[in-house]
Every structure is written in C-alpha cells, then in structure tokens.
Amino acid sequence: MLCGFGLITVPSMFFHETELSGLFIIDPELIEDERGFFSCVFRADEFARIGLNGNLRQNNIAFNAHRGTLRGMHFQKQPYEQAKLTRCTRGAIYDVVIDLRPGSPTRYRWAGVELSSDNCRMLYIPQGFAHGYQTLTDNTEVFYQASEYYHPESAGGLKWNDPAFDIRWPLPVTVMNERDANYPLLESDKLHHREPER
C-alpha cells in the first residue's frame, strides 16, 4: 500500500510523494458548479517545476471488458525507459509498480493504489519502474501518457505473481494474455526481454 511522505501543491493539482522516491499520487482539484466539474490534470511546466518528467510523448488507452483482468508487469530498458502518468477514465483499477532502479534503497519493492473514474486520482511513475494493473470493475478504461515512445526491442516484463515481490492483488485473475502469464521469475532472469501487451 502507498502512504504519503510529502505534499506538494501546484495550481489545481496536489502531489503526494510516496515511500518510493519519485512515485507520486496526484489528486486534481475539482472545480464544481451546477454543470459538474472542471479540472486540470496535466501541465508540463508544473511537473518540471517539482522535478518530474513532463515530456510525455505518447498517449495510450486500454479498454478491459472484465473485472479481474490483469496487465503487467511491463517496462522498457535503457535508453528507452518510460516515465508514465496513469489514470482510470472509466471503472476502477488497482495500479501497481515495482522499483527496478539500480542503487535505489527501495529496489524491488512494490506499491499499489486504486485509481477510478470516481476518485479522479492519477499515478506518476518515474523511469526505472515496472508497471501493471488489475481491473476492479467490468468495462474499465485506462488512459496513460509515456515519456518515451513504445520500443518493442527494449520491452520486457516480470511475472505478476513472483514471490520475490509478493504483490497482493485484490482479486483472482480472470483474464491475462499469454505473454504476461509467461514472464520469468526475478531469480531466473532479472530483466527478461519480451514484448508486452499493447
């Protein structure tokens, strides 16, 4: 689970740094009126001001029909590592990351947070992390931005249920593609190359 170590406020966004350095939960400010609400969910200059990579070059969307669907744990190796900004625009997910950064005091530790269309939360994931998520509802849609373009030759993954990490997924897995199911355990191949699910 994630716990906030610090709070940074920028116009319309509240950044909560977690126990994994550089990993932030972001709560956008909702400006509400009789029509509903308006919110700023990304400003490159404000991300850069607090030291985050605001150069998000590629936007992706993933639709998941069934509750319990699991995607992950994906990463890209240097020099194509990706920082990501994830949000759930429909339904709800349990978003999970693993710190893979060499020399990091939290290397191989994981953290997870619920993102949903109701809570409007986002997760900023720095470069050097593996990322995946499990859907908590049917018909879930996830939108995420990445700082580097998808590069198949640098793509890799780690096994979602590797005992080295002991990730506590909230639901039994109902749907997973073959590639994600067959990623190796950490001990057998620490940074195995394999094309992740698109």
Catalytic residues: 74, 144
Per-position b or e across 125-138, b if 16+ CB within 10 A of its CB:
bbbbbbbbbbbbbe
Q: What is the DSSP letter of 22?
A: T
- pTM, full prediction: 0.87
Going along the chain from its start, the domains and CATH numbers come out as 6-30+38-181 (2.60.120.10)
128-175 per-position pLDDT tens digit: 999 999 999 999 999 999 999 999 999 999 999 999 999 999 999 999
Residue 81 has pLDDT above 70, yes or no: yes
Q: Go through the chain and tell me how many residues it has.
A: 198
The answer to whether 49 and 39 are in contact (CB under 8 A) is: no
